[in-house]
Every structure is written in C-alpha cells, then in structure tokens.
Amino acid sequence: MTSSRQLHLGAFMRPVSLHTGAWRYPGAFPDANFNFAHLKRFVQTLEAACFDAFFMADHLAVLNMPVDALKRSHTATSFEPFTLLSALAAVTERIGLVATASTTFDEPYHIARRFASLDHLSNGRAGWNLVTTSNPDAARNFGRDEHLEHDERYRRAREFYDVVTGLWDSWADDAFVRDVESGLYFDPEKLHVLAHKGEYLSVRGPLNIARPVQGWPVVVQAGSSEAGKQVAAETADVVFTAQSSLEAGKRFYGDVKERRERLGRPRNHLKILPGVFVVVGDSRSEAQDKRAKLDALVHYESGVSSLSIALGHDVSSFDPDGPLPEIPETNASRSSRERVIELARSEKLTVRQLAQRLGGYSGLQMIGTARDIADEMQQWLEEEGSDGFNVMFPFLPEGLDDFARKVVPELQRRGLFRRAYEGTTLRDHLGLPRPGNRFFKSP
Amino acid sequence: MTSSRQLHLGAFMRPVSLHTGAWRYPGAFPDANFNFAHLKRFVQTLEAACFDAFFMADHLAVLNMPVDALKRSHTATSFEPFTLLSALAAVTERIGLVATASTTFDEPYHIARRFASLDHLSNGRAGWNLVTTSNPDAARNFGRDEHLEHDERYRRAREFYDVVTGLWDSWADDAFVRDVESGLYFDPEKLHVLAHKGEYLSVRGPLNIARPVQGWPVVVQAGSSEAGKQVAAETADVVFTAQSSLEAGKRFYGDVKERRERLGRPRNHLKILPGVFVVVGDSRSEAQDKRAKLDALVHYESGVSSLSIALGHDVSSFDPDGPLPEIPETNASRSSRERVIELARSEKLTVRQLAQRLGGYSGLQMIGTARDIADEMQQWLEEEGSDGFNVMFPFLPEGLDDFARKVVPELQRRGLFRRAYEGTTLRDHLGLPRPGNRFFKSP
Ligand SMILES: Cc1cc2nc3c(=O)[nH]c(=O)nc-3n(C[C@H](O)[C@H](O)[C@H](O)COP(=O)(O)O)c2cc1C
Ligand SMILES: Cc1cc2nc3c(=O)[nH]c(=O)nc-3n(C[C@H](O)[C@H](O)[C@H](O)COP(=O)(O)O)c2cc1C
C-alpha cells in the first residue's frame, strides 16, 4: 500500500533561507530571519498550506566561519528557539513547532520543562530537535575549552533523553483533579519522583509542570554518524537528514528503519525527512534562472573559501570566469572533492559559479515547475527514499509563497498531501501514537 | 516635588494568586495558573489598565512543602516563564513582561540570549527578575546534593550579571547595516568578543543575537539579606520586596536608595515595589468578608502546620474555635512569633482563623474600598515607602477585574497613575534610561 502513503512536510526556518545570498535577492526581506512580523506571516502561510511543522535549527554561538564570510551572512544573529516558537504558538492553531535544544550544553530539567510548557501553550504542537551541538565554538560560551568528545556527547545524549522523558512522566495524565469541594488539587498517588543517578546526570524531579499534551513532545534527531543513527533509531520520532541523492537517501532510509525494527519497534512510527532546497518556476528555465541569480549574489570571496575547503586546494588564483582546471589529489575528503568536480562538469559551471554554488548552498535540491518538484517528491516517497521532506526556501517571502501556492496544491491533487489538518497535535499530523506514561497506567 | 511622582504597578502573576484558597473561591477559575486562555485574558486586562508589568516568579522544583499541603496547592505546576511570557508578548502591545531566572542553576549565555530574544520579540518589554533561587530542592534537580552557600550564591550572581550585561553589549546598536548593494550584513568593527574569565564563569561570546531593544532588559531583584540588598543596589533597576508595614517599608526604601547613592548613581533610577495583597469591596466590610471567606477555604491542616512553624510551637491540640492561648517562648524567630500573636490579638482571630490566615497569605495587605486602597498607596508613595507596588490578587478573575475597574480609575483621578502608556518599552514605563553600550559609543 505504498501508494496510499502521504508526504510529511516540515519547513526549515532557521535560517529562513540557508542560502547566503538570500537576503540580497530582489524582493526579499533582508532582515527576514530576525523580524517577528515577517516570521509570523511565514508561519501562518505554512499553516494555511497544512505543513506538519515549522522547524527551527539552532546554534549556541555565532556561526563558526571567518569574520570576512560571517559579515556577509544574514544568520549571524537570530531569535532563540523557545522564545520565538512560544510567540508563534500564540498566533497559530495547528502547525507543529520544533525547537532545537542541546544535550551537551543544557540541563535536562530545563529542557523537559520548556518543551512541556511549549507543548501545553500550543495544545500539543511541540517537537524537540535533539542535538549534541555541532558548532565546537559553543563550548567556550559554556565554560569549557573544548567540545565533549563525539562518542561521549552521544552517551550523554542518550542518558539525557531518558531523564527528560522520565521527567515528562512525573505526573499521571489524570493527576490534577482540582476538586473545589474537598480542596484536593492533585492526587499525590499520581506523582512520581524520578530520582535519576547515572553516568552524566543526577536529577531528582518531579517536574513542576503537568505531563505534556502529547505525552512526550515529538523527538527529532539529525545525527549522521553511527552513534548518531543509533541514538536516532532508539529515541527519535522523526529523523531530519542531509542526503545528496535519491540513491543515498534510500540507503539511509533502509539503514535507520532497519535499526528501528531490530529494536522491535514499528518502522512507520519513525519518519525520515531529508532536507531539500526547492526553487519553483513557471517553467524549468525560469526556476534555473532564479537559482543562478541567487548564486550570483554570493560574494565571490566567501565562495572561494568554501570551494577551496571542499577541494582541499587554494583556488583563489584561478580565473574566475574560466572552467575549473585539473585539481591534484589532496588530503581533502575524496568524496567531497569528487562531488564538486562532478558538479562543475555536469552543470558546466565556471570557477566563479562553482564557488558561489558552494558558498550559497550545494546540498539536495529540486528545481523546476511545481509538477517537476511534485514528481521528484513522489518518487522519493514511492521508492522509500523518505517519508517527506524538510523544505528549505531559497529566498523569502517569494520562495515560500511559491511553494505554498504552486507545489502544495499539485501534491494535494495527487493525493500525496493533506488538504486540511485531520488532528490537532504534531503527533496527529505525523501519524505517531501518543506514548504511555512509564510510571502510570492510562486511566 | 514628591507629589508629582506617580505609582508604578506590577502584577504578581505566578501564581496568579499567592493565596492557597484562591482556586476554591466562588467564581474563580481553579486552573487559572495553568490555562493559557485565562492568562491571556488577564494580561490583556492588565494592559488595558496600563500596568507597568506582568511579573512572573519562578521556582526550579515543585514547592518545598509537605505533600499533604502541596496536594492542596494550585501552584504545584505552572508554565515555564520564557515560554509563557513569549506567548503573551505575541498577544499584547505595551505591558512589560518580567521573567524570573536563576543565576545559580543556569548559564549566562542562555539567560542573556533568552532575555534578548524576548526583548526583541516584545519590542522592548522584557525584564529579568534576577534570583539566586530560594527553593533548596532545586539543587537536586541540577546534579547537586546541596544548594550553594548563601554568600557564594550572591558572589556568583554578581559575576553572572556582569557576564550577561557584557553579552548584551556584544553588538553595537548600529552594527547591522544590511547593505544589499555591497553585500555587507554587519560591520565587523561593531562586534565585541567578551572573553570573560572570572571566579565562577568563563564565557567567550559574542552573543548570537543583536543588542536588546532596551539596551539591557530591565533588571529586577528581590534579595533581602545584606548581600541581597547590596547586589540590588549595584545591579537592579527595580527592587521587588516583601514588607510588613509602612514603617518597615520606609526603612528598607531609605536603606536601598542610600546604597545606590553611595555608588554615585541616581536614586530615582531604582524603583522599589513592595508586594501587596489587595482585596477590594464596595464597602470596607464587604472587602473584609471576602478576605474572611477566602481564608476559610484554606484547609485547616495546612494552616496548622504554617502556624506551628511561625510560633515554634505545635498548635494541633489547641481548640480551633477558641482564642490563641499563651505560647511559651521558643526557639522560633522572635519577630515572627510576635507578629503572629499581635495579629491574633488585633483582629480577634480564633486559632482556626489564624491558622488559615497563615496558611493562605499573611504578608502586607490592603483591604477596603477603592478609595481606602488608593489612600494607602498614596501614603506609601508620598512618605517614601515605595515607588509603587507589585500587586497580588486574591482570586481570579474577580480580584483582578475589581482592581482594574475600581482602584486604577481612582488612582488615575488623583493623578497618581498613568491614563495611557507614554512610551513603548518597559524602561519607558518605569522612567528608566536606556543603558549605553560599554564597548561602543552611541552612534
Ligand atoms: C539537516 C540537519 C540539521 C541540523 N541542525 C542542527 C542544529 O540545529 N544544531 C546543531 O547543533 N546541529 C544540527 N545538525 C547537526 C547534527 O545534529 C549532527 O551533529 C550532524 O549531523 C553530525 O552528525 P553526528 O554528530 O552524528 O556526527 C543538523 C544536521 C542536519 C543534517
Ligand atoms: C516578593 C518576592 C518575590 C520573590 N520571587 C522569587 C522567585 O520567583 N524565585 C526565587 O527563587 N526566589 C524569589 N524570591 C526570593 C528572593 O530572590 C530571595 O532569595 C529572598 O528574598 C531571600 O533573600 P536573600 O537571598 O537575600 O536572603 C522572592 C522574594 C520576594 C521578596
């Protein structure tokens, strides 16, 4: 019954566009990333288009790039996720709200509490993108000289997840009786003290907020290492991932779903959503022109440094307007080098265009008419490359409006995407069950 | 020109009523403390009444009381402050939003960022109630067996404040040029790396969010020890305090304002707001009846334990309906014992009534008609007992609506309170200047 499956769509919204040139695009809002009035409009457009969720990545430091590139980036500053998503919760009704929070640089009591609070404020629409924090500069903002070592980060993450979910279960769903007559506010039999003492964490509990509306807010994971994929299989409801092609996507999809099944848990209770950069045009060439125009807005010097890193070779002396010369073998990652050379060849890009592509955004993309994009998405779904996508918009508002007005109706016509929300919580949208309370039977 | 001074009014809203019996009062919303629809209505009423701020206390554990009392309390759970206030920011325009955050159990990078984010989302309405955390149970939710020792808590708090304000100053006010033509998003000369290394904290920076709208969000402090008052004088824009009488209030007011002047800073840039519990009636006796009715809703056993603690003597064998017998001298705090005996005498309370008063709320109160209350508030203002109040409502919505509809207009008629907001930020409402950036001159 593969064909009856439907796509799940998230919107990757921090930054509102991942593309470095986005803020300079004609008609774009240069401050879109940091202007609440704009963000409110965006989320309301996404909700009208029935997106599953607004997804907010997060970093605990300014981006770790040289200041000469940073100063050209519209993502140097942004809102903090809990504050922004709570404000957006108050101006929306149905769309899910996924915040990134770090298991390395925060405390489980705070994290459990904030997600529970966001879940209550939004009537069950919160999600937690559980990260161990990718930007190593974060460590120095939190009293450490160095980032925790990779495996240790994931061991702590695993324990952190157990503590947070344990705290969410502090109260039975029916603990609060609020009996005005007798004066009993809650039933003390329905309160559980966690008293966790583990390798990294020691947390007593109980949490000082009622169990979340969703039982547990939706857990999203984006790790890609072995440890990351394993934590995802064990803990995640949704896996957000960067894939470079449908082939790679299918391998990843199979790998993570199998890990899940080996744990004895249903594979369809884990949704895999690759990030995809979508540029829509009324014709294919219009879409390609938009992409080229956008890339051209990337400052050449920023592009040169990204390209040099990807090739493991300094390209600053190359003729910007000539083709990419032969590059000797280097220490750079072989796959990244080959990917870039192949990209230059297949799209016949000059050094400048290639540099601007890499300095802008060079991951998975879908470019074309609404039908082209729907075709590709359908193929991913039907061939089990994904359960949907986390969509990245090229520039705002136009790129988002185009997707909502052109691609979504095409997906709906094909029966691949909802025409209206059927439930009220993010779990409902994703087709995920509400977890039981590990300490109390359901009433 | 004392008479031209105006009152500043905050609303103490977590819990929405401090009184243990509040949720059982006829017509009250039993879940008011944990229902966003109600809280939204309350804050909008407060805004229509031109309150300076909505003030949200906070605790990092369930209240530290025996479970037999806790189970009768409507404050066992609540929203988390940043998430709630951000949601309220989206449904209000002018009222200030003060969140409590702990310098003992959180990280300065997180705190600086969240307040900056709330300040931007609300267009300059954020305030930080800086606490070292009073509930000792919090320690066990954050990996510690014991609370930090009192003086050390305040030393860390002082350093924490320096780091947070330093992080707020990471960016000059005019750092973000967003020049679409040249592609320059910010001026790197206007970015400062804090690189703080101190006794308790080591934080590099810069903060990944632009300088707050208010420069620095308003800082509120509620410490009452020597160390607490000193930190308040050094750091606070607003002091929130529990005072038992006008005489005590005047002493406290003089003490803190003098500390401020000794630091060479203007005394009127520090506002002192005692908490006051206000019950309004159309007649004095109606107000007193409301208070008595409310106290009667406190469960006798909860009251008995509060009264026993205050007297240092087990009162459970006393006749509940008789007067308070002689109490021998004990180890209990002399002042608390005497205050309670005096209360029983002056109001001719039975043991039950006294216990219920203590189990409910027994701090500073103003009870009477709108004119009585305005008289008392005016006296405090004119005799320099305070610069206004943090008002605590007895039950919701009625107690809040009464204050907004009856007391506020009376204060306005006397020229003691604004009829409309004059500025847009919380600093504007409080008459506090916007702090300069310590690293950059104003443009
Ligand atoms: C699409 C996507 C989004 C991500 N978002 C974040 C993020 O917001 N914050 C963060 O610290 N890391 C983020 N990451 C990084 C992952 O959490 C993870 O650290 C990274 O994929 C490397 O995987 P590994 O840690 O398993 O090696 C993201 C990764 C992907 C693929
Ligand atoms: C009106 C008022 C409100 C307070 N709110 C909080 C609060 O929300 N959270 C908290 O941990 N402490 C709160 N406190 C406690 C103070 O921060 C402080 O710890 C207490 O007044 C004792 O003072 P000291 O620490 O200087 O001895 C409050 C105190 C007062 C007087």
pLDDT tens-digit map of B81-101: 999 999 999 999 999 999 999
Q: How far is the CA of B137 from the centre of ligand 2 (A)?
A: 15
Residue in A87, A354, A416, A292 with CA at minimum distance from that of residue B97: A87
Residue in B117, B125, B129, B124 with CA at minimum distance from that of residue B46: B125
Residue B133 in contact with ligand 2 by CB distance below 6 A: yes
Atom of ligand 2 nearest to the CA of B135: 11
Is B82 an 8 Å CB contact of chain A?
Answer: yes
DSSP string, B121-157: HTTS-EEEEEE--S-GGGGGGTT-SSPPPHHHHHHHH
ipTM for this prediction: 0.97
Return the pLDDT at A191. Answer: 97
- How confident is residue B443, by pLDDT bands cut at 50, 70 and 90? low
Mean pLDDT, range B159-172, rounded to an integer = 98
Query: B193: which 2 tokens?
Result: 């790396």
Residue B221 in contact with ligand 2 by CB distance below 6 A: no
For the stretch B286-323, pLDDT in tens is 999 999 999 999 999 889 988 998 998 999 999 999 99
Yes or no, beta carbons of B120 and A208 under 8 Å apart: no
Is B36 an 8 Å CB contact of chain A?
Answer: yes
Atom of ligand 1 nearest to the CA of A240: 1
Q: How far is the CA of A419 from the centre of ligand 2 (A)?
A: 51
Domain boundaries, chain B: 8-280+364-430, 299-359
The ligand whose atoms approach the alpha carbon of B100 most closely is 2
The pLDDT mean for chain B works out to 95
Query: B221: which 2 tokens?
Result: 């402090």
Return the pLDDT at A1. Answer: 34
Is A23 an 8 Å CB contact of chain B?
Answer: yes
For the stretch B235-274, pLDDT in tens is 999 999 999 999 999 999 999 999 999 999 999 999 999 9
In chain A, which residue's Cα lies nearest the Cα of B199?
A: A143
Minimal Cβ distance to B72: which of A76, A110, A185: A185
Angstrom distance (rounded) from CA A429 to CA A436: 18
Return the pLDDT at A253. Answer: 97
* pLDDT tops 60 at residue B38: yes
Yes or no, beta carbons of A71 and B116 under 8 Å apart: no
Return the pLDDT at A218. Answer: 98
Helices (H), B169-280: 226-235, 246-262
Angstrom distance (rounded) from CA A157 to CA B424: 42
B185 is in an annotated binding site: no
Yes or no, beta carbons of B203 and A89 under 8 Å apart: no
Residue A228 in contact with ligand 1 by CB distance below 6 A: yes
Residue in A189, A122, A167 with CA at minimum distance from that of residue B61: A167
Minimal Cβ distance to A90: which of B76, B87, B137: B87
Distant-in-sequence, close-in-space partners of B399: CB < 8 Å, separation ≥ 6: B17, B278, B279, B280, B393
* pLDDT tops 80 at residue A442: no
Yes or no, beta carbons of B187 and A109 under 8 Å apart: no
Tell me the residue type at B276: V
Yes or no, beta carbons of B73 and A185 under 8 Å apart: yes
Nearest CA to ligand 2 atom 25: B223
Return the pLDDT at B194. Answer: 98
Residue A58 in contact with ligand 1 by CB distance below 6 A: yes
Return the pLDDT at B65. Answer: 84
B31 is in an annotated binding site: no
DSSP string, B299-349: -HHHHHHHHHHHHTS--TTS-TTSBPPP----SS-HHHHHHHHHHHHHHT-
Yes or no, beta carbons of A34 and B208 under 8 Å apart: no
Yes or no, beta carbons of A203 and B142 under 8 Å apart: yes
Contact B175, B150 (CB under 8 A): no
Q: How far is the CA of B323 from the centre of ligand 1 (A)?
A: 68
State how far residue A250 is from chain B, nearest Cα, in angstroms.
36
* pLDDT tops 90 at residue A76: no
In chain B, which residue's Cα lies nearest the Cα of A24?
A: B180
Q: How far is the CA of A401 from the centre of ligand 1 (A)?
A: 27
Class of domain A8-280+364-430: alpha beta
Residue B276 in contact with ligand 2 by CB distance below 6 A: no
Query: Burial of B420 by CB count in 10 Å (0-12 exposed, 13-18 middle, 19+ buried)?
Result: exposed
First to last CA, chain A: 34
* pLDDT tops 90 at residue A112: yes
* pLDDT tops 60 at residue B2: no
Is A292 an 8 Å CB contact of chain B?
Answer: no
Q: Lowest mean pLDDT of A341-345, B51-55, B217-221, name the range.
A: A341-345
Yes or no, beta carbons of A208 and B62 under 8 Å apart: yes
Contact B41, B397 (CB under 8 A): yes
Annotation: binding site of A for FMN? 58, 100, 150, 154, 224-225
* pLDDT tops 60 at residue A10: yes
Is A161 an 8 Å CB contact of chain B?
Answer: no
Return the pLDDT at B3. Answer: 45
* pLDDT tops 90 at residue A147: no
Mutation target vs B (from A23, A208, A211; most B CBs, 10 A cutoff) = A208
Residues 203-262 (A) with a CB less than 8 A from some CB of B: 203-206, 208-210
- Which pTM value belongs to this model? 0.97
Yes or no, beta carbons of B297 and A176 under 8 Å apart: no
Mean pLDDT, range B203-209, rounded to an integer = 97
* pLDDT tops 60 at residue B1: no
For the stretch A275-299, pLDDT in tens is 999 999 999 999 999 999 999 999 9
Residues of B with Cβ-Cβ distance to A141 under 8 angstroms: 109, 203-205
